[in-house]
Amino acid sequence: MLSLHIIACGRLRKGPEVELISDYLDRYEKTGRGLGLGPVSLIEVEDKRGGGMAAEAELLRKAIPKGAVTMILDERGKLLSSIDFSQKISGWRDTGVQDLAILIGGADGIDPALRQEADFALSFGKMVWPHMLARVMLSEQLYRAASILGNAPYHRV
């Protein structure tokens, strides 16, 4: 069972983004349960002292479960189709990975040292997205990946 941990800098308040994230992650969990795709935890970290990327990186590191594979969202990362993304997730599941930590940096992105430590970097394109929208897009793509793996009709080619 592959458990996901979305670890993000910053806190989301109530609003449409929170509702979308919750809806997509609920769908992911329901669709993925029978596919060996486990629950999702959303962990928010906040650097209240203003220490910048290095301080955010330390907070992100502390939230990563021991032994987890780490994936960062970064504009310099690899561009994947939805099908390729689903295969990446199923590949980790199929090789016995139990925890996947997906890291979303703050306003300045992921600290370069943490970026180097990541097992995989994923890009949603050359554009930079605010962390709240990146969370929505990630949540939707996770649900889409589970739908693809489960041969559900949600994803259309």
Going from the first residue of the chain to its last (157 residues), give the mean pLDDT of each consecutive group of 10, the final group possibly shorter.
96 90 96 95 90 93 97 96 98 97 93 97 91 93 97 82
Q: What is the pLDDT of residue 7?
A: 97
- What pLDDT sits at residue 19? 95
DSSP lists the bridge partners of residue 44 as: 8
Q: What's residue 111's pLDDT? A: 95
- Nearest-5° angle of CA 130, CA 11, CA 131? 15
Residue 15 lies in a domain: no
User: What is the pLDDT at residue 130?
Assistant: 84
User: CA–CA separation, 144 vs 140, rounded Å?
Assistant: 6
Tally of domains in the chain: 1
Predicted pLDDT at 70: 98
Look up the pTM and report it. Answer: 0.94
Neighbours of 28 (CB within 10 A): 23
Give the structural domain span for 65.
20-99+120-149
CATH number for the domain harbouring residue 130: 3.40.1280.10
Residue 77 lies in a domain: yes
Structure tokens given for 77: 């990362």
User: What was the pLDDT predicted at 3?
Assistant: 97
Contact yes or no for 155/144 (Cβ under 8 A):
yes
Residue 114 lies in a domain: no
Within a domain: 39: yes
Query: Are 139 and 27 contacting, i.e. CB atoms less than 8 angstroms apart?
Result: no
